[in-house]
Amino acid sequence: MSSVPDTPLVSTEWLAAHLDAPDVRVIDGSWYLPSAQRDPRDEYERGHIPGAVFFNIDDICDTASPYPHMLPSPEKFSSRVRALGIGDGMRIVVYDGAGIFSAPRVWWMFRVMGFDDVVVLDGGMKKWKAEGRAVTDERTRTSPRHFTARRNALLLRDREAVLHNLDTCAEQLIDARSGPRFRAEEAEPRPGLAGGHIPGSRNLPSSQLVNADGTLKSHNELVRLFDDAGLDLKRPIVATCGSGVSACILALGLAVIGRDQAAIYDGSWAEWGAVKGLPIEV
């Protein structure tokens, strides 16, 4: 069995050395905002890390929800990942084409489904390609595997829990959207959403956690960023964003510095900004 480092991140060097290990499964978890005008599935088909399978965030979700890519039921999640050839006992490495953007969402999804042997490729496909490492357009052949999903509710918050927390203030809320969106100085990319943020939340744009080469910033830099945002790292933390993707970058950064129990408000602003009557600050 290959040994995954005791960290939520692995380097391109580590993956290259373990790419052929029978228990390692690589996942392309690429997803982009519509404004990026990038097709993640098409990019995967044209070139992916050898052996990688494509994880479609907009399919492996609760498609009955009015909100984008909400967490699916454990049953649906299990069914989809089994079909990808992912099963119990594997070591999962997730990457995305931007470096670190949507891969943390897939990392969080596996963890909230009770699967902890999952890591993110630091720098993703961006760094992998920059280093001239192997890329293929060959179809990855898989066979169904048994996957057991047990939802870990500690890593997930819903609207009711966040609303209740406004009274108790038991958990700190941190918003990964840009400052202008957080302050309602810039329109939301999704139509029909109010501007502003959940009362009492702090702001740390997720882009600040990522270096130009797509890698996550250092341990000390992450601690400083969370400290500057006003977080008490000894207290419980819930991350939110526009639709539950970039919040997971904050959760990944927190895990790197030893705070691996940060929860995600899955509906995020796509829900909070759409539901009439909820309190909003600007």
Whether 248 is a known active-site residue: answer: no
Q: What is the DSSP string of 159-192?
A: HHHHHHHHHH--SEEEE-S-HHHHTTSS--SSTT
What's at 62, amino acid-wise?
D
CA-based torsion, 52, 210, 172, 197: positive or negative: negative
Q: Which of 244, 236, 77 is nearest to 150 (CA)?
A: 77
Q: Put the strands of the sheet holding 263-265 in their side by side order.
A: 156-157, 263-265, 237-240, 172-175, 202-203
Q: Is 279 helix (H, G, I), strand (E, B) or coil?
A: coil
- Total count of residues recorded for the chain: 282
d(CA 54, CA 44): 7
Is 111 in contact with 118 (CB distance < 8 Å)? Answer: yes
Catalytic residue among 61, 169, 241, 248, which?
A: 241
Count of CB atoms within 10 A of residue 120's CB?
Answer: 29
d(CA 122, CA 10): 6
Q: State both tokens at 270.
A: 């796509």
In sequence order, the β-bridge partners of residue 119 are 93
Active site residues: 241
